[in-house]
Amino acid sequence: MARAQDDVTQAQPARALDAASLRAATLDLYGRPPFESERLRWTGVARHEFVDQALGSPECWRHWLEEQLFYFLLIDNFRPESSRVEALPELLAQGKLDVRDAIHRIALSPSFDQRNPGADTFVTVVMEQLNGLRVQKNPRELEVGKAIYDGRAGTFLGRTGSSQSDILSIAVADRSFAETLIEREYRRILRAEPERKALADWVRRLQRDAFEFRGIVREWLLAPAWDARVASKREAPNRLWVRALYVDLLGRLPSDEEARRLRSALDGLSDAAPLRSVFARVLIDSGQVALPERDAIPEPSGWIAERFRSLLGREPSARELESFVSTFRDAECRPQTVLYAIVTHPEYQSY
Measure the N-to-C terminal CA separation of the chain; round to a whole number of Å.
30
DSSP 231-262: HS--BPPHHHHHHHHHHHHHSSPPPHHHHHHH
Chain mean pLDDT for the chain: 94
Are 317 and 273 within 8 A, CB to CB?
no
The CA-based angle 144-149-153, given to 5 degrees, is: 60
Name the burial class of residue 17, with classes exposed (0-12), middle (13-18) and buried (19+) by CB atoms within 10 angstroms of its CB: buried
Share of the chain above pLDDT 90, in %: 92
pLDDT higher than threshold 90 for residue 10:
no
- Mean pLDDT, residues 93-114 taken together: 97
pLDDT higher than threshold 90 for residue 228:
yes
Give the whole-angstrom CA distance, residue 194 versus residue 305: 37
Structure confidence at residue 13 as a pLDDT band (50, 70, 90): low
- Mean pLDDT, residues 302-320 taken together: 95
Structure confidence at residue 12 as a pLDDT band (50, 70, 90): low
The pLDDT, as a whole number, for residue 331 is 87
In 3-state terms the chain splits into helix, strand, coil percentages (rounded to 5) of 70, 5, 30
The pLDDT, as a whole number, for residue 233 is 86
Could you read off the pLDDT of 337-351 as tens digits, one per residue?
Answer: 999 999 999 999 998
Structure confidence at residue 15 as a pLDDT band (50, 70, 90): confident
Share of the chain above pLDDT 70, in %: 96
- What CATH architecture applies to the domain 238-343? Orthogonal Bundle (1.10)
The pLDDT, as a whole number, for residue 17 is 96
The pLDDT, as a whole number, for residue 137 is 95
Give backbone dihedrals phi and psi of 154, rounded to 5 degrees, phi first: -170, 175
The pLDDT, as a whole number, for residue 84 is 95
The pLDDT, as a whole number, for residue 154 is 96
Helix spans in 158-236 (H): 164-173, 175-190, 196-208, 212-222, 224-231
- Mean pLDDT, residues 282-305 taken together: 93
- Mean pLDDT, residues 253-267 taken together: 95
- Mean pLDDT, residues 79-84 taken together: 94
- Mean pLDDT, residues 106-110 taken together: 97
The pLDDT, as a whole number, for residue 89 is 98
The pLDDT, as a whole number, for residue 65 is 98
The pLDDT, as a whole number, for residue 298 is 87
Q: What is the pTM of this model?
A: 0.91
Every domain of the chain and the residues it spans: 116-173, 238-343
The pLDDT, as a whole number, for residue 14 is 66
Distances (CA, A) of 135 to 120, 140, 159, 178: 10, 9, 18, 18
Could you read off the pLDDT of 134-171 as tens digits, one per residue?
Answer: 999 999 999 999 999 999 999 999 999 999 999 999 99
Residue type for position 100: R
